Amino acid sequence: MKYLVIVVSLFFTSVMFSQENTKQDVKIGVVLSGGGAKGLAHIGALKVIDSLGIRVDYIAGTSMGAIIGSLYASGYTGKEIDSIFKDVNFDKIINDDLPRAAKTFYERDNSEKYAVTLPFEHFNLKLPTALSKGQNTLSLLSKLTLHVSDVEDFSKLPIPFFCIATNVETGQAVILDKGNLPQAITASGAFPSLFQPVIIDGQLLIDGGVVNNYPIDELRAKGMDLIIGVDVQDDLASRDDLKSALDILLQINNYRTINDMKQKAKKTDIYIKPDISNFTVVSFSDGREIIDNGEAAALKEMDALKHVASMQTQKKTKHITIKSVDSIKINAIYVEGNKKYTDAYVLGKLKFKQNVKLQYNSYVEGVNNLAATNNFESVVHKLQPSSNNEGYDMYLTLKESSITTFFKFAVHYDDLYKTAALVNLTKKQLLIKNDVLSFDFIFGDNIRYNFEYYIDQGFYWSVGLKSSYNQFKKVIPATALLTDDELQTLNVNKLDVELKDLTNQFYLQTLFTKDMSLSLGAEHKRLKITTETVLTGNNDKKTIFENSDYLSLFGKLKYDSYDNKYFPNQGFYFDGDFHLYLYSSDFNNNFNEFSIAKATIGYAYSFSDKLTANITTQGGFNIGENDNPYLNFALGGYGNDFINNFESFYGYDFISLSGNSFVKGVLTLDYEIFKKNHINIAANYSNIADNIFDDGEWFTSPDYSGYAIGYAMETFVGPIELKYTYSPETKESIWFFNLGFWF
């Protein structure tokens, strides 16, 4: 009997203890809403949850909540996620601003010339599906989650996870809990019109916030006992705050989600609502304040959170530090989705091969190189650990662009060409898969055009045809065109000159590296220079200085690693050009075979995030007995992309200094006072005259100098610049103004 009492007592004690244990240990789920930049508040809340030792058993999120939640689920702490986002350039992420180094020379010209690009299909202009393809977002998330790249079932992550996207075609919510984690997160955050839709398992997916911005019911269904929720949704705005079309569209989209939240907030056991009233979905520059507000909101729920922590008997597993990835080994590359473009073409653009070890940055650059061709609507890349080898297998899923015709637009003003508006027609795959035809028509004060047909063979010899027509009128010093005898006879200081230039080229081009090209070709040039200032006869309407056709052979070597064409922070630049003039129709009967060689060398260096120095040197000279002055070097003015041998020079107006040889040096200091706004100062020095390299005059103290101070602003149409320049030789100051990309 005694033993029976003992057994019964032990049984009831065990049962009671077990019940108590079960009661105390609870499963905690965390749900994070979408909200764009406001979602950074999730980081602050997670930092508080971590500080209390709360074990999160499942996490779910939508849009930015999916991004933050996935990183937490993959093993990062709230503090580590905070550090990650400190270094993220959200402008580059949102704008899909691929690094300049990723683009071919041709694609660089496109991105630095046109303000607007619109697809053209079936004789109709179309709007792009979105401002960004999400390429930079995918690459960043792929790197951050590389340590779990072998996990395809998100419930097997260090913390089980799922996110919500919206099927555009059905309007239904889609739970993403398997597959490619970075791609799933990108789909959940694909805000309509900002990021293009993502295709997963044949479904066209966009931002999950459209239909379910707070998936608490789906999380509860995973067996969670208690839910901690962080809500960063906007409340409905008043009429005073509805000041734009975007504000109204967001308000319309918020009707349903806000009403839903009234019910979902009641279902949340610990409801955290950060103060995000002063921020928008794109307030990434205020990230630090938003994170702090998220932490402050979580601290208000400290007592409830502590109680949750006390209810858990099973503690969090020990945190393992996630090492930053510097290099990876690629064992195999698998490509799918390419029909028009061969595997060889794809691998050639990646610029790395199988069975190689490379820096992770080089891996990302390779993917960017492929995306920068603009031949693909999407470039989805994934790394998975190799089954039989150390390293990874790379899987590329491509969706080729179905649109091959584009209209592009730009506007410009400068002090030489004056007003200009550009309309471009670009046609890819006109005759073969890897060709492109481009035609610029420029109208305004001076009608111009640029035509190019290019067959891109990458590192093999590519073939190109170019034709361009330029014209402008400008008052220039008479010394640039008249001899000493003519100056004395005519007694004029200035000439109102009209220049017309038609240039046609056939060339071959090859790449040594992605930043270095060699071009060899033949050129026809028709040059006509006239003036109405001086008339040689009673019946003449114009005096013609030059009206000749030229034939020449040329070679061009170019290296360009500048990170920005107009405001470089780092990089090296070299542009060498050699022309051998073999024939002229010889309007002035003074032609002899001659050559012109010139080169530009530039180097940019950043002292800090704000201050950059750019040093540029230039030089050129004629070879041979050339009595023709009309292709001589001419210095003066400010600008880019000048024709022939015109070069800018602060302190002097356009084409103020001339000669058949010159040297020039420029030092520019640029300070970015705030984002995309620059103050710069510059000094330039030069010697220019005939044959300065024959007598050593090029090495003497400079004969000409000029200085400049200016303000510049980067805009979507290109730089807007205002410069004040001064030369101590002339004691005169000149203002220069430029608007838009140069073309």
Q: Average pLDDT of 552-560? A: 97
Whether the per-residue pLDDT at 180 is higher than 70: the answer is yes
pLDDT band for position 6 (cuts 50, 70, 90):
very low
**Can you read off the two tokens belonging to residue 531?**
């003036």
What pLDDT score does 249 carry?
A: 67
What pLDDT score does 127 carry?
A: 63
What pLDDT score does 21 carry?
A: 45
- Measured in residues, the chain has a length of 743
pLDDT band for position 402 (cuts 50, 70, 90):
confident
pLDDT band for position 9 (cuts 50, 70, 90):
very low
CA 666 to each of CA 568, 683, 686, 719: distance values in angstroms, whole numbers, following the listed order? 14, 6, 9, 20
For residue range 357-400, list pLDDT tens digits in order. 999 988 988 898 888 888 888 899 999 999 888 899 999 999 98
Whether the per-residue pLDDT at 462 is higher than 50: the answer is yes
What pLDDT score does 76 carry?
A: 95
The answer to whether the beta carbons of residues 136 and 96 sit under 8 Å apart is yes
Higher-pLDDT residue of 288, 251: 288
What pLDDT score does 586 carry?
A: 92
| Opening angle at CA 127, ends 125 and 133, nearest 5 | 135
Whether the per-residue pLDDT at 12 is higher than 50: the answer is no
What pLDDT score does 77 carry?
A: 95
Strand bridging mode 356-359 / 376-385: unpaired
Buried b or exposed e, range 312-328, using 16+ CB within 10 angstroms = beeeeeeeeebeeeeeb
pLDDT band for position 10 (cuts 50, 70, 90):
very low
For residue range 40-68, list pLDDT tens digits in order. 999 999 999 999 999 999 999 999 999 99
For residue range 68-123, list pLDDT tens digits in order. 999 999 999 999 999 998 888 777 777 777 778 777 777 777 778 999 888 887 77
Rounded CA-CA distance 80/284 in Å is 18
CB atoms within 10 A of CB 159: 20
DSSP-assigned beta bridge partners for residue 332? 393
DSSP-assigned beta bridge partners for residue 438? 426, 452
Strand bridging mode 494-513 / 270-272: unpaired
Q: Average pLDDT of 580-598? A: 94
Q: Average pLDDT of 571-581? A: 97
The answer to whether the beta carbons of residues 204 and 167 sit under 8 Å apart is yes
Quote the mean pLDDT of the chain.
88
The answer to whether the beta carbons of residues 607 and 633 sit under 8 Å apart is no
Could you tell me the maximum CA-CA distance found in the chain, to the nearest angstrom? 143
Q: Average pLDDT of 580-599? A: 94
What pLDDT score does 299 carry?
A: 96
Whether the per-residue pLDDT at 509 is higher than 80: the answer is yes
Whether the per-residue pLDDT at 496 is higher than 70: the answer is yes
CB atoms within 10 A of CB 172: 12
Q: Average pLDDT of 653-680? A: 95
For residue range 215-245, list pLDDT tens digits in order. 999 999 999 999 999 999 877 667 776 666 6
Rounded CA-CA distance 575/557 in Å is 6
pLDDT band for position 7 (cuts 50, 70, 90):
very low
Whether the per-residue pLDDT at 650 is higher than 90: the answer is yes
Higher-pLDDT residue of 382, 24: 382
Nearest CA-CA partner of 160 in 229, 219, 232: 219
What pLDDT score does 8 carry?
A: 39
Whether the per-residue pLDDT at 246 is higher than 70: the answer is no
Rounded CA-CA distance 718/569 in Å is 17
pLDDT band for position 20 (cuts 50, 70, 90):
very low
What pLDDT score does 720 carry?
A: 97
pTM of structure:
0.75
- pLDDT-wise least confident of 367-381, 668-682, 715-729: 367-381
Q: Average pLDDT of 183-189? A: 95
Residue 234, burial from CB neighbour count under 10 angstroms (0-12, 13-18, 19+) = buried
Rounded CA-CA distance 174/199 in Å is 12
pLDDT band for position 538 (cuts 50, 70, 90):
low
The answer to whether the beta carbons of residues 435 and 454 sit under 8 Å apart is yes
The answer to whether the beta carbons of residues 522 and 513 sit under 8 Å apart is no
The answer to whether the beta carbons of residues 400 and 377 sit under 8 Å apart is yes
What pLDDT score does 434 carry?
A: 82
Whether the per-residue pLDDT at 289 is higher than 70: the answer is yes
